[in-house]
Amino acid sequence: MNDLLDTHAAEVLEVLSVGIMLADETGAVSYANRAALECLCIEREGLKEINIRGMFRQNAGKKDIMLRTKGKDRITVRLNRITLSGGCSVVVLTDITEIHQLEQELLKMDKLATVGELTSGIAHEIRNPLAGIKTTAQALKGEIPDNDHRVAYISRIIVEIDRLNKLLLNFFDFAKPKDLNVQACDLKRVIEDTVFLMQDSALRNHVQVMEFYPPGQISIRADSDLLQQVLMNVFINAVQAMHSGGRMEVHLADKGSQVEIIVKDTGKGIPENIRNRIFDPFFTTKPKGIGLGLSISYRLVKMHSGNISFATGPRGTTFTITLPKEVAM
Ligand SMILES: Nc1ncnc2c1ncn2[C@@H]1O[C@H](COP(=O)(O)OP(=O)(O)O)[C@@H](O)[C@H]1O
Ligand SMILES: [Mg+2]
């Protein structure tokens, strides 16, 4: 054995960034290095409570566990157990929170792509006969005199066809992984334009809209039409969450290489049991909702190499959109 290693083994273990725990043949843990204690969020005295037999079924194995750390969010820790001579074992702990999150995001993107293909196929098949129905209805309308009471029925048919067409366009939007039309855009302008477009629906719902901008211009390279679509979805959701009126705040902030758009509402919040589903395609809690707004927004933000997240509680919900100033192509 190397003398130097002999002398410094304990010290080396303490400075490692992976967690190491040693357990005797009964599974009782007798040592854990600093990284392991940090990972598990326990003090050295707490080690007595741990028995790795309870953690693993077999003698050797791998296992991922979720832990809630003090003051921090949930983390995912991978435990690897290796049996040493004499029945003792060493458990290696690695914080794989980031890998886990990336895996989840990839899964989500994959699911979105599949749903996208399916919806675009169906939407296409519906659009053609629908166009035929509309033409026929218009022809019929032309044939009967204006004062005939049946004109109203036909007009109604045409209005409903238009509504269906709009819905289908939504599906197309969702399906097409559009090419980004990246240009320099003045974010304040993009936000102001979007607020202008939703002002009516805010008024109708007694929602006061407040905008907060830093001094000077914030310009980023992005597809402004798509950004507007993202903002619109988030704004409309905010308004719809405030049944008896309220306040929606939009904050724009410069964060160096990134920008941050925060949308706060004073609505009812998002119940805990659906928080992990709101970005899923077709997930909606609204009687007339389609459930595509957030999944489309998620995709569009990701196409910009940005991020969209939220925090919510009984006093309202805050969506945070971060975008790089320069989209990586
Ligand atoms: N600001 C918000 N406050 C409360 N719930 C929200 C908010 N934004 C989104 N949600 C929830 O997320 C669901 C999905 O939103 P979205 O994808 O836009 O679809 P839709 O608006 O058609 O329901 C909504 O039905 C709602 O339950
Ligand atoms: Mg919506």
Residue 294 Cα to ligand 2 midpoint, Å, equals 6
**Ligand 1: lining residues by beta carbon, under 6 Å:** 233, 237-238, 241, 265, 267, 270, 278, 283-286, 289-295, 317
Q: What is the pLDDT of residue 181?
A: 87
Do 221 and 259 touch, CB atoms closer than 8 A? no
Which pLDDT tens digit goes with each residue over 13-37? 999 999 999 999 888 999 999 999 9
Do 319 and 308 touch, CB atoms closer than 8 A? yes
Domain 100-175 has CATH 1.10.3470: no
Sign, CA torsion 272/278/279/281 = positive
pLDDT band at 290; cut points 50, 70, 90: confident
Question: What is the fold of 3-95?
Answer: Beta-Lactamase (3.30.450)
Residue 237 Cα to ligand 2 midpoint, Å, equals 5
Ligand nearest to the CA of 316: 1
Which pLDDT tens digit goes with each residue over 106-143? 887 777 777 777 777 788 788 888 999 999 999 999 99
Q: Work out which ligand 1 atom sits closest to the CA atom of 267.
A: 3
Domain ranges, ordered by start, for the chain: 3-95, 100-175, 183-324
Q: What is the pLDDT of residue 54?
A: 76
For the structural domain made of 183-324, what CATH number should be given?
3.30.565.10
Burial-class residue 310 by CB neighbours within 10 Å (0-12, 13-18, 19+). Answer: middle
Residue 275 Cα to ligand 2 midpoint, Å, equals 14
Do 323 and 306 touch, CB atoms closer than 8 A? yes
Cβ atoms < 10 Å from Cβ of 276: 10
CA dihedral 161, 165, 168, 174 (to 10 degrees): -150
